[in-house]
A and B are shown apart, each in its own frame.
Chain A
Amino acid sequence: MQNKNELNIEMFERLGVDEQQSENIVRPSMSYWQDAIRRLKQNKVAMISLFFLIFMVIMCIVGPYIYPHPYDFQNIEITNQPPTKEHIFGLDDLGRDIFARIWMGGRVSLAIGVVGAVISLVVGTIYGGISGYCGGRVDDIMMRILEILVGIPYMIVVIIVSVYLGQGLHSLMIALCLTSWTGLARLVRGQVLELKQSEYIMAAQALGTPTMKIITKHLIPNTLSVIIINTTFSIPGFIFSEAFLSFLGLGIKPPLTSWGAMAALGQQQMTYYPHELIFPAIAISITILAFNLLGDGLRDAFDPKLRQ
C-alpha cells in the first residue's frame, strides 16, 4: 500500500506532454559511411588485421632495402642453417637468407593478390553494371556467356593458360584473372537490378532528383559496400591460387620467388630443416587470415544485417 504521508498535493500538479523527453531517443545523425567507418574502428580484430596488412605491405616494399642480406645471394658454405642472430629466419638449401626472401616473395604474392583483385573488380563491375543496367536482350546474352564461364573449372583454366603463355609474373596474372571476375559481375548485376526496381530509387526519380545525384547518392553507396567486401575476400583467393601454382612448379620462376614457391622448396627439406617451410607458410597463413578477418569486419561494418 502506498504511504499517504509521502504524497502531497503539489505532486499532482499538471505537467502535460514533455516534448523533449518523449522524443529524446533521437541519435545524432550520421552518414552511412561515417557510421560504417565508426563501426569498423570499433572492431578491434579488423583494425589489428588492417594494421598488420599495412605493416606487411611496407615491409615488402622497404624490407629488401634495409635488410643487409640480399634475397638471391647464395652462401653455399652454410646451406639449410636454422635461424640465427645473423639470419633471423635461417637459410634455405642454397644458402639464401629466408628473411630477405620472405619480403621479396611477399612482393609477388601481395602484388598478385591486389592486382588480381583490382582487375576482377574493374572487369566484374563493368560487366555486371552493363548487364544489369541495360537489361533485356543484352542482359540475357551477357548472362549466358557468364553461365558458361562459371562452368569452367578455375584452376584448370589457370594451368592451361599459364602453360600457353609461359611462366612468369605477367602470364600468371592474366591466367588468374581470366575468369575470376565472374562472381563479382553476378553480384553487381543483381545489385543493380534490385536497385533499379527499388522503391526509393523510384521515389527519388519521382521527386525529380537528377540522374547524376541518384548514381552518386544511391547507386554507388549501395553497390560499393558489396564490391569492397567482395574484393577484400577475393585477395586471399588470388594469393592462394598463386601459392598453389608455384607450389606445383607451374607458377613463378627463379630467380623471382613467392611464398608459394618458397613453401614448395621448404616442403622438400621439411624432414630435416622445417624452418624452410614454416616461415613462408606462416607468412601466407597470417596474411590470408588478416584479409579474411578484415573482410569479416568490413562486412559487419557495412552491412549489419548480415552479422551472425
Chain B
Amino acid sequence: MSEHLLEVKDLKVSFHTYAGEVQAVRGVTFHVDKGECMAIVGESGSGKTVTSKAVLGLIATPPGEVKKESQILFEGKNILDFTDKEWRDYRGKEAAMIFQDPMTSLNPTMKVGKQIMESIMLHNKVSKKEAREQAIELLRKVNIPNPEDRLNQYPYEFSGGMRQRVVIAIALACNPKLMIADEPTTALDVTIQAQIMKLLKEIQTKNDTAVVMITHDLGVVAGMADYITVMYAGCIVEQGTVDEIFKDPQHPYTDALLKAVPNLENENKSELQIIPGTPPDLISPPKGCGFATRCKYCMGICREKAPEYTDSSDTHKAACWLLHPMAKEVYGFENIKEVFENEK
C-alpha cells in the first residue's frame, strides 16, 4: 500500500488538570490522502479539536500530554519526533490550520496584510514587495474585494465572514499539502457558512490539498467530505465514506446524529430526535462503550467491555456490540439498519 499523506495511529492525548487526568483522546486512528477531505464529526468534548491540534503540534504541554504510543505520520515521518526546527518548517508550509472563531484568531493590533505576509516571508525567500503582491493575490483568491486597500486595515475593520476569509488566506499562504479546518463556519451566519464551505471546496479541488474538517454538524460536511470519522468521548465510533455514513450508519450514535440533522427532503416528516444525556466524564472514562449510558440499544456487555471495530467494507468500520454475531443471534436481525428502523 502506498504511503498516506497523513496517518494518525493510536493517538492518545491527556490533560492534567487539578481534578485529575482528563483523557481527551483515547486511541484515534485515521488517515488522509492527497486531495481528500476527511470530516471529523462529534459533539463538544468528543476530542475532535484536540485531535486536530495534535496534528499541528499545538497541544500545550503541560497541561497536555501526547502519549508515547501515539504516532502521527506525515508523508511517512512521525511528526511527534520532530525537532523545534522541523516543527517550524512543517507548520504553515506543509500543514496549516483554520480556527473556529475568526473574531479571536487574528491579532487585533497587527494589520491584516502583515499577518498574511508574515507567513509567506517565513517560509519563502521573498522580498517584502513580493510577499505583498502574493498577499494581495491570496486575498483575491478568497474573494475579498479591494485587496490592495484591505491589506492595510486592522482585523476590527472586517466582518466575521471576511475575517474567516483572511484566516483562510493565511492558511493558504504557502500552499500547504494539508489543511485543518476546526469548525471553520460555526461562528458565522448560515449564508456566510455556505460561501466559506464553497471556498474551501474550491481550494481543495484546485490545489489538490488534503483537508481535515472538524465539525459538529453533519449537514455541513455532506457536500464537502469524502470520508467521515465520527468521534465520541475521545474515541472513533464509526468511520466510512460519506455515502456509507449517511446511508448505512452502523453505530447508534451516528444514527442518532443523523436523526438530529434537520432535513427538508425527509418524507416521513419525523420529528427531530435529540440525544438525551451528556457525554461521560473523561477523567474516569467508562470501561465499556462511552455511549452506553445514552444508547437506546444498550446491552449488558456495553457497560462491561469496550467494543472492537467491525469492518463492513474496506472503508467502513464501526465500534459497537450490536455488530457482534452474538447480538444478531440474540435479537435475530440480519442488518443493523433493521434495528434502527424498527425503533421508530
**Per the CB under 8 Å rule, do A and B touch in the complex?**
yes
Nearest CB to that of B295 among chain A residues?
A17
Query: Residues of A contacting B308 with CB < 8 Å?
Result: 1-2
Decide if A25 is an interface residue (CB 8 Å cutoff).
Answer: yes
- B276, B300, B303: the one contacting A17 at CB < 8 Å is B276
User: Does B329 have its Cβ within 8 Å of any Cβ on chain A?
Assistant: yes
Whether A22 pairs with B330 at a CB distance below 8 angstroms is: no
Q: A9-B330, A11-B299 are in contact. List 5 more A-B contacts (CB 8 A).
A: A12-B301, A15-B298, A15-B302, A22-B277, A25-B281
In the complex formed, the residue of B with least CB distance to A15 is B298
Shortest CB distance A1–B (Å): 8
Top 5 A-B pairs, shortest CB-CB distance: A22-B277, A11-B301, A22-B293, A21-B293, A11-B300
- A23 with B304: CB separation less than 8 A: no
A residues apposed to B, CB below 8 Å: 1-2, 7, 9-19, 21-23, 25
Q: State whether the Cβ of B156 lies closer than 8 Å to any Cβ in chain A.
A: no
User: Which B residues fall within an 8 A CB radius of A?
Assistant: 276-278, 281, 293-305, 308, 321, 324, 326-327, 329-331
In the complex, the answer to whether B281 meets A12 with C-beta atoms within 8 Å is no
Q: How far is the CA of A1 from the CA of B278 in the complex (A)?
A: 30
Please, could you name 15 A-B residue pairs with CB atoms under 8 Å apart, sorted by A? A9-B329, A9-B330, A11-B299, A12-B321, A13-B330, A14-B299, A15-B302, A16-B297, A17-B293, A17-B296, A17-B298, A22-B277, A22-B294, A23-B277, A23-B278
Determine whether the beta carbon of A11 is less than 8 Å from that of B293: no
Give the residues in chain B near A12, CB-CB below 8 Å.
299-301, 321, 324, 326-327, 330-331
Query: Are the CB atoms of A7 and B326 closer together than 8 Å?
Result: yes
Closest residue on chain B to residue A23 by CB atoms = B277
B326 touches A14 (CB 8 A): no
B301 and A7 contact, CB distance less than 8 A:
yes
Beyond A11-B299, A12-B299, A22-B294, whether A17 also contacts B277 by CB under 8 A is: yes
User: Hey, which chain A residues are within 8 Å of B303, CB to CB?
Assistant: 15
Q: What are the residues of chain B within 8 A of A21 when measuring CB–CB?
A: 293
B294: which A residues are within 8 A, CB to CB?
Answer: 17, 22
A116 to chain B, nearest CB (A): 38
Q: How far is the CB of B44 from chain A (nearest CB, A)?
A: 15
Known contacts A12-B321, A17-B294, A17-B295, A22 near B278 by CB under 8 Å: yes
> Hey, which chain A residues are within 8 Å of B281, CB to CB?
25
**Minimum distance in angstroms from B233 CB to a CB of chain A:** 12
Is the CB–CB distance between B278 and A13 below 8 Å? Answer: no
Q: Least Cβ distance of B213 to chain A in Å?
A: 29
Shortest A300–chain B CB gap in Å is 13
User: Using Cβ atoms and an 8 Å threshold, which residues of chain A touch B302?
Assistant: 15
A14: which of B276, B277, B297, B305 is its contact (CB, 8 Å)?
Answer: B297
Measured between beta carbons, the chain B residues less than 8 angstroms from A1 are 308
B278 and A16: CB pair below 8 A? no
Q: In chain B, what residue has the closest Cβ to A14?
A: B299
How far apart sit A17 and B294, CA to CA, in the bound complex (Å)?
5
Chain A proximity of B299: nearest CB distance (Å): 5
Determine the chain A residues whose CB is within 8 A of the CB of B304 once the complex forms: 11
Contact of B278 (CB < 8 Å), options: A2, A14, A15, A25 = A25
Q: Is there an interface contact between A15 and B326, defined as CB atoms closer than 8 Å?
A: no
> Which residues in B have their C-beta under 8 angstroms from that of A16?
296-298
B35: shortest Cβ distance to chain A, in Å?
35
List the B side residues contacting A18 at CB < 8 Å.
293, 298
Query: Given the complex, which residues of B lie within 8 Å of A10, measured CB to CB?
Result: 300
Chain B residue numbers with a CB within 8 Å of A25 are: 278, 281
Within the assembled complex, what's the spacing in Å between the Cα atoms of A14 and B298?
6
For residue B118, give the distance in angstroms from its CB to the closest CB of chain A: 29
Provide the bound-state CA to CA distance between A16 and B296, in Å.
Answer: 4
CA distance A13 to B299 in the complex (A): 5
CA A16 to CA B278, docked complex, whole Å: 15
Shortest distance between the CB of A307 and any CB in chain B (Å): 12
Q: Which residues of B contact A19 (CB under 8 A)?
A: 276
Chain B residues closer than 8 Å to A7, beta-carbon distance: 301, 324, 326
Min CB gap A153→B, angstroms: 31
Closest chain A CB from B298 CB (angstroms): 5
Report whether A22 and B276 are in contact in the complex, using a CB–CB cutoff of 8 Å. Answer: yes
Cα(A278)–Cα(B305), bound, Å = 68
Chain A residues within 8 Å of B324, by CB: 7, 12
CA distance A18 to B299 in the complex (A): 11
Task: With both chains docked as a complex, state the minimum distance between the C-beta of A10 and any C-beta of chain B, in angstroms.
Answer: 7
Cα of A15 to Cα of B303 in the assembled complex, Å = 10
Give B89 Cβ to nearest chain A Cβ, in Å.
34
